[in-house]
Amino acid sequence: MDLIKQRQEEIIEEFSMLDGDMEMTLDYIMELGDELGAFAEEDRIEDHIVKGCQSKVWMTAGMDNDRVQFKADSNTAITKGLVSLLVRVLNQSTPQDVMNAEIYFPKQIGMDRFIGTQRSNGFAAMIKQMKMYALALTAKQES
């Protein structure tokens, strides 16, 4: 099983233990946001804002050997938790794997039940941004 799939399966398993309890789920998502690595203040710039998110989400990506290294932050606890899930799933993968990744865990954990349409759109925008970063890093590697 590839790493991205394995990480999604771990997330699905963790959320299944919450038994669909809305309050526990949201608390857990916010806790996950607290585990997101530090995000440099100088990276909180307009260029790093993910377009399409209601909350502010900053994201950067670089290469660590041949793996993509994502860093992200948000100004709201729930959104920070959501972006932390994506970082967890896609971080330290090859750019090719990031671009080809099928992100299925949100549907499996019933994410649409506890985040509204706006957040769902923002979540999709975060995935798109991560794939764009991977594409840009691939282009940079090849040149």
Comparing CA positions, the residue from 17, 25, 4, 32 lying closest to residue 111 is: 25
Q: Is 53 a catalytic residue?
A: yes
DSSP conformational letter for 50: P
Catalytic member of 4, 32, 50, 53 = 53
Contact 12, 108 (CB under 8 A): yes
Three-class DSSP category at 49: strand
Contact 21, 109 (CB under 8 A): no
Active site residues: 53
